[in-house]
Structure 1
Amino acid sequence: MDPIAYVNGSFVPLSEAKVSVLDRGFLFADGIYEVAAVLDGKLVDSASHLARLERSVGEIGLALPETTARIEELQKELVARNQLDNGMVYLQVTRGADKSRDFPFPKGVTPTLVMFVTAKDIVNAPSAKAGIGVITVPDIRWERRDIKSVALLAQVLAKQAAAAAGAGEAWMIEDGKITEGGSSTAFILTQDDVIVTRPNSNAILPGCTRKAVVALAAERQLRVEERAFTVAEALGAKEAFITSASAFVQPVITIDGKPVGNGKVGPMATRLREIYVDFARATAV
Structure 2
Amino acid sequence: MSEPVAYLSGRFVPLSQAQIGCWDSGFVFGATVTDFCRTVRGQLFDFSAHAQRLCRDAHSIGIPFTETSQDLSEIATSLLNQNGLLSRKDSDSFEWAIITFATPGPISFYTAHLENRPISRPTLGMHCFPLPFDRYCPILQHGADLVAIGPIEPFGEIPGGLINPMVKHRSRLHWWLADQKLRTLPERLPHSLAILQTTTGHLTETAIATVAFVIDQTLTIPPSNMILDGIMLQHVRSLAQECGIPICERPIHAEECRNRVQEALLVGTAFGIAGVSRLLGTPLPHPGPITTRLMRAWTDRIGLDMRQQILDAAPRS
Question: Structure 2 length as normaliser, TM-score?
Answer: 0.78
Matches within 5 A, 1:1-285: 1=1, 2-84=3-85, 85=91, 86-101=95-110, 109-120=120-131, 125-139=137-151, 140-142=156-158, 143=161, 144=163, 145-163=165-183, 165-166=188-189, 167-174=191-198, 175-190=200-215, 192-201=216-225, 203-236=226-259, 237-260=261-284, 262=285, 264-281=286-303
Structure 2 distance, partners of 1:47, 1:181, is: 24
Structure 2 distance, partners of 1:54, 1:281, is: 28
Structure 2 distance, partners of 1:114, 1:235, is: 44
User: Conserved in 1, the CA contact under 8 Å of 2:140 and 2:274?
Assistant: yes
Query: Which amino acid in the other structure matches residue 219 of structure 2?
Result: I
CA deviations over 1:242-285 (Å, ceiling 9, x no partner): 1111231111111233312x4x3323223322322443459xxx
Following superposition, the deviation at residue 121 of structure 1 comes to: 6.2
Unaligned 5+ segments in structure 1 are: 103-107
Max Rg structure: 2
Q: 1:234 to 1:40 in 2, by over 3 A?
A: same
Q: 1:4 to 1:101 in 2, by over 3 A?
A: same
CA deviations over 1:212-258 (Å, ceiling 9, x no partner): 10111112211111111122323432211111112311111112333
User: Conserved in 2, the CA contact under 8 Å of 1:188 and 1:234?
Assistant: no
CA deviations over 1:112-161 (Å, ceiling 9, x no partner): 11111121266994532321111101144533222212111111222343
Query: Which amino acid in the other structure matches residue 279 of structure 1?
Result: R
Q: 1:76 to 1:14 in 2, by over 3 A?
A: same
3-state SS, counterpart of residue 213 of structure 1? helix
User: Conserved in 2, the CA contact under 8 Å of 1:34 and 1:91?
Assistant: yes
Query: Which amino acid in the other structure matches residue 8 of structure 1?
Result: S
3-state SS, counterpart of residue 181 of structure 1? coil
CA deviations over 1:26-61 (Å, ceiling 9, x no partner): 011112111112111222222321222122112212
Q: 1:22 to 1:54 in 2, by over 3 A?
A: same
User: Conserved in 1, the CA contact under 8 Å of 2:55 and 2:68?
Assistant: no
User: Conserved in 1, the CA contact under 8 Å of 2:30 and 2:171?
Assistant: yes
* Identical-residue share of aligned pairs (%): 26
Following superposition, the deviation at residue 18 of structure 1 comes to: 1.8
Query: Which amino acid in the other structure matches residue 91 of structure 1?
Result: T
**Structure 1 segments of 4 or more deviating over 4 A?**
121-124
Structure 2 distance, partners of 1:195, 1:211, is: 13
Number of the residue aligned with 2:313: none
